[in-house]
Structure 1
Amino acid sequence: MSALRFTVDHEWLRLESDGLITVGITAYAQAALGDVVFVQVPELRSYRAGDEAAVLESVKAASNIGMPLDGEVVDVNATLQDSPEQVNEDPLGQGWFFRLRPSDASAMDHLLDQAAYDRLIQDQADA
């Protein structure tokens, strides 16, 4: 497994050994949202970066999860539909949302690394 990459919208991405990318929301996003009570995972199809991919509802708000990269969603975490609390309990593990086959895996290189993401969180906390 490779290191995580992050979006400015607080999604994490992990390149898996099979070339697929697993996507979820960060612990920071989960904490900001509060308890997640509903997750609608994306359809298995191709998306463009920025397309709405998934929807989650928490006790505080409803949020759209945008597609971080161009690619095809090939797997979803169907257990989230019956157990959305997995996002609360393990957002970087069992709370993943979907896996995609990227159109261009090198696009991940343009996302934030851990240090840059930590700076983003700090900057948002200071704002």
Structure 2
Amino acid sequence: MNIPEDLRYTKDHEWVKLLDDGSTALAGITDFAQSELGDIVFVELKAPGTKLKAHEVFGTVEAVKTVADLFAPIAGELVGINEALDAAEVVNTDPYGEGWLVKIKVDDAKAVEELLDAASYRQLIGA
């Protein structure tokens, strides 16, 4: 199970990476989440410009046998979506790289640090 040390995680199996500008973050689903969902065939996300509250649904991911809600890991404004998601299987093959889902202008960068670190996330999923 791939759990990069430089990311932060939620109990809902999303990851967050604060970018170098300190106010924007990328977010996606974890390797654990994509493996539990199976083959992802479609991702639907709210439009850029949407204000997000932490833990609020910001989209859905559809796999062959299920549809799951995506929850905002932090509060902020959705400022970008990953155009590579037209080929939704990229979420399965590279969930932390090309398979990122959204870019968020964060309301409070400190909120990112309050999320789970890699060790805590490993413990959560029993890895």
Aligned match for 1:27, one of 24, 31, 36:
31
Alignment check: 8 A CA contact 1:42 1:98 kept = no
Alignment check: 8 A CA contact 2:15 2:73 kept = no
| Percentage identity across paired residues of the two chains | 42
Quote the residue 2:78 is aligned against: 73
1:18 shift after superposition: 2.2
The structure that is helix-richer by fraction is 1
| Structure 2 residue identity aligned to 1:101 | K
1:42 and 1:77 mapped to 2: Cα distance? 12
Aligned match for 1:87, one of 80, 86, 91:
91
| Structure 2 residue identity aligned to 1:17 | D
Work out whether 1:14 is the aligned partner of 2:17: yes
1:119 and 1:47 mapped to 2: Cα distance? 28
- Please, which runs of 5 or more residues in structure 2 have no aligned partner? none
| Structure 2 residue identity aligned to 1:14 | K
1:79 shift after superposition: 2.1
Q: Which runs of 4+ in 1 moved over 6 A?
A: none
TM-score (norm 1): 0.90
1:60 and 1:34 mapped to 2: Cα distance? 8
Work out whether 1:121 is the aligned partner of 2:121: no
2:59 and 2:20 mapped to 1: Cα distance? 24
Aligned match for 1:99, one of 103, 115, 118:
103
| Structure 2 residue identity aligned to 1:79 | A
Q: Secondary structure at the match of 1:30?
A: helix
1:69 shift after superposition: 1.0
Quote the RMSD (CA, aligned, Å): 1.3
Alignment check: 8 A CA contact 2:52 2:78 kept = yes
- Please, which runs of 5 or more residues in structure 1 have no aligned partner? none
Quote the residue 2:42 is aligned against: 38
Task: Provide, for residues 72-110 of structure 1, a one-character-per-residue CA deviation record: whole Å limited to 9, x for no partner.
Answer: 011100221x20010011011100000101110101121
Alignment check: 8 A CA contact 2:84 2:98 kept = no
How many residues of Structure 1 are paired with residues of Structure 2 in the alignment? Answer: 121
